[in-house]
Structure 1
Amino acid sequence: MRSLTEPPPRHAKAQFRPDFGQRFLVTVDTEEEFDWEAPLSRDGHSLRHLDRIHGFQQLCEAHSVVPLWLVDWPVATSPEAAELLRPSLESGRAEIGVQLHPWVNPPFEEEVSEHNSFAGNLPRELEEAKLTQLRDTIEANFGKEPLVYRAGRYGLGPNTAAILAEQGIAIDTSVRPLFDYGSMGGPDFRHFPLAPYWLDEERMLLELPLTTCFWGMLRRQGDLIFPRLWRMPAMRGVLARLGLLERIPLTPEGISVDEAIRGIDMALDDGLPLLVFSFHSPSLAPGHTPYVRSEEDLERLYDWWRAVFAYLQQRNIRPTSVAEIMQAVLRG
């Protein structure tokens, strides 16, 4: 089993059936509300936004999109969340996966700290125990076996892949290429590929990286230039404004529609078979994330998704689901 914290060899790249083409997947980090600017805590979180989940589910269904709700412990243990999502899960109009926020997920044996907020930094036994409790709770409360994992804060570690395989997880989607969380004690994904790849020689555990692209005249040199500007955000802004180099993650949080379309174009031009979008569920209600502070911000978020779905349709890029991905990926 390869480590999730190391870039894969080239031969690990996953291949899909020719009729799969280029597709996109919408993922939602479905989690509790907390103050993003305060130190992490096991207490002081809420779930007031859960009643807004239905609205986004409806938007997705109107565009034939099957969202992947990646659920963490507070949501997994919420009867309201189960009641809201169960009908869509049972009908195949939504899918569910695991998202591990270790600081709010039992067993509570570690100190709450930034280092320990990356689950992959925990002792193997504790990381496994937390994931096991969460996976089993999701299956019991939502009636579906979760087959996809995302580490909260993208916090993979050297033991994560083996733990996922032992827990029957088929897909990880925690790798965020072109981002480095090393200064906080997390992984460095700057040199990871965007295309899906296998984490084991048996081809049983698939990685679906979140999609982030470089755009601009210097984008082919982005891997060399961008890391040198890590502590120079003003210079990164100058390069973006001049159309020379810009890093664009496919998310409505902090990324405009125009930027997202540029990122989509770059991903498609590079032949990426799967575009993985993401955002946080608390952004579905005002006041819980830095990205949605008002009802006007929320409407802009929905407008973002409508515009992106329309552009993807214009480019003939169809939505996909975890079920379709597992059927289309070639294991031979």
Structure 2
Amino acid sequence: MLEPPRGDAKARFRPDFGQRVLLTVDTEEEFEWGGAFTKDDHGLSHVAQIRQFQAFCEGLGVVPLYLVDWPIVMNERAVEVIGESVKRGLAEVGVQLHPWVNPPHEEEVNAFNSYAGNLPHDLERAKFLRLRDEIEAKTGVAPLTYRAGRYGLGPNSAQMLMDAGIAIDTSVRSNFDYRAGHGPDYSRHPLEPYWVDTEHRLLELPVTSVFWGMLRRQGPVLAPLLAKMPMVGSAFSRLGLLEKIPLTPEGVTAEEALRGLDMAIDDGLPIIVLSFHSPSLAVGHTPYVRTEDDLNELYDWFRQVYAYCERYGVKPTSIAEIMQSTIV
């Protein structure tokens, strides 16, 4: 699952599917970004803001996919808001595994083990099943989608997901390489959805990050080199030669995101996957939302992105619609 897909793995969709945009929310606890990983030093105060965000999404006609981790599913307020929206068909719920806060706690808590795919297979599976079962018990819905926290897939993750009935994974962050921090390398993975297995049991929906600029076609080759030379990389971006644009409101301006959307739309990407972390729905929990102005800009980012998508006929989609539209 960590290797790029084979040449014939590209997923196909019904002719009337066109291009769609999916909103994914890494719905998780608050913790100190850049700090040490801990089992219990975290907060959940931002959960109160999820209801407002859900209403905002409904106003846009967007069905968000809440990828829920252990502290969230154990929080009654979060389960109430998300569960109600799921029951009304206005939201969907999936699994997001943060191993350091997810029982059973058998491993040493550290950076290496923060990637679930680095754990012994039996432990990765035990943590995943514990979380999946708890989500189903609390929401009444069997989750069909998975995202490894920190995009941490491992060599056994795909089989684990298929054995558990997961139909879609969205852990691959194409054009990113996390090996320096003990994580996986997705720098050679495509942005297009693809089948992980030859029997078409598990569909991969990569998180969208595109290259923009005059040299964007050479992005996969140049970006790893420029990452080793930050000053040169910044110069390439300023000169409009090459820029990597993740489609997230966290650290990416609306202007940058619209440039990225242009690339994704021009390239005919069938599903554009947006993502962000739920603690950014309140001030002070992530580096991206430190003030009320930052929070207002996050909401405005979504307004601009969805208005742009509408202008070009890119409609919001959902996991249910994607599964119904996939040609197997």
Q: 2:125 aligns with which of 120, 124, 128?
A: 128
Separation of aligned partners in 1, 2:289 and 2:4: 34
User: CA-to-partner distance for each residue in 1:290-326, whole Å, 9 max, x for gaps?
Assistant: 0001111101100111111111111111000000000
Matched, 1:25 2:22: yes
Cα distance in 2 between the residues matched to 1:118 and 1:60: 30
2:40 is aligned to 43
Alignment of 1:94 onto 2:91: yes
Work out which of the residue numbers 277, 302, 306 in structure 2 matches 1:305.
302
The match for 1:61 is 58
Distance 1:202 1:244 in 2: 40
Q: What is the aligned partner in structure 1 of residue 253 from structure 2? A: 256
Partner of 2:146: 149
- Paired residue total: 328
Q: Distance in 1 between matches of 2:232 and 2:115?
A: 29
What per-residue deviation string (whole Å, max 9, x for no partner) do you get for residues 209-256 of structure 1?
Answer: 000100000001111111111222221111111000000010000001
Q: Return the alpha-carbon distance in structure 1 between the equivalents of residues 232 and 56 of structure 2.
A: 38
Alpha-carbon separation, structure 1, partners of 2:84 and 2:71: 20
Q: Which amino acid aligns with 2:8?
A: H
Give the alignment of 1:162-311 within 5 angstroms.
Answer: 162-311=159-308
| Structure 1 residue 54: Cα displacement | 1.0
Q: 1:90: Cα distance to partner? A: 0.3
Q: Distance in 1 between matches of 2:232 and 2:101?
A: 37
Q: Percent identity, aligned pairs only?
A: 60
Per mean C-alpha deviation after superposition, the further-off stretch among 57-66 and 245-254 is 57-66
Q: Which runs of 5+ in 1 are unaligned?
A: none
SS of residue matched to 1:11: coil
Aligned-pair CA distance for 1:37: 2.1
What per-residue deviation string (whole Å, max 9, x for no partner) do you get for residues 180-237 of structure 1? 0001111000000000000111111100000010000000111111111122222111
2:217 & 2:30 partners in 1: Cα distance? Answer: 38
User: C-alpha separation between the residues in 2 aligned to 1:48 and 1:143?
Assistant: 24
Q: Distance in 1 between matches of 2:61 and 2:7?
A: 33
Q: Could you say what the CA RMSD is over the residues aligned between the two structures, in angstroms? A: 0.6
The code of the aligned residue for 1:73 comes to W
What TM-score do the two structures reach when normalised by structure 2?
A: 0.99
Give the letter for the 1:122 counterpart.
L
Q: Please give the per-residue CA displacement for 1:117-149, whole angstroms capped at 9, x wherever unaligned.
A: 000000000000000000000000111111000
Counterpart amino acid of 1:121?
Answer: N
| Alignment-mate amino acid for residue 105 of structure 1 | N
* Aligned-partner residue type, residue 301 of structure 1: L
Following TM superposition, the consecutive aligned residue runs of length 4 or more in structure 1 with deviations greater than 2 angstroms are none
- Paired position in structure 2 for 1:327: 324
TM-score, normalised via structure 1 length? 0.98
Measure, in 2, the Cα distance between the counterparts of 1:42 and 1:231: 33
Q: In 2, Cα distance between the equivalents of 1:292 and 1:132?
A: 33
- Deviation for aligned residue 1:55: 1.3
Whole-angstrom CA distance in 1 between matches of 2:282 and 2:268: 35
Q: Which amino acid aligns with 1:167?
A: A
Aligned residue for 1:78?
Answer: 75
Unaligned runs of 5+ in 2: none
In structure 2, distance between residues paired with 1:220 and 1:38: 36
Letter in 2 for 1:78: N
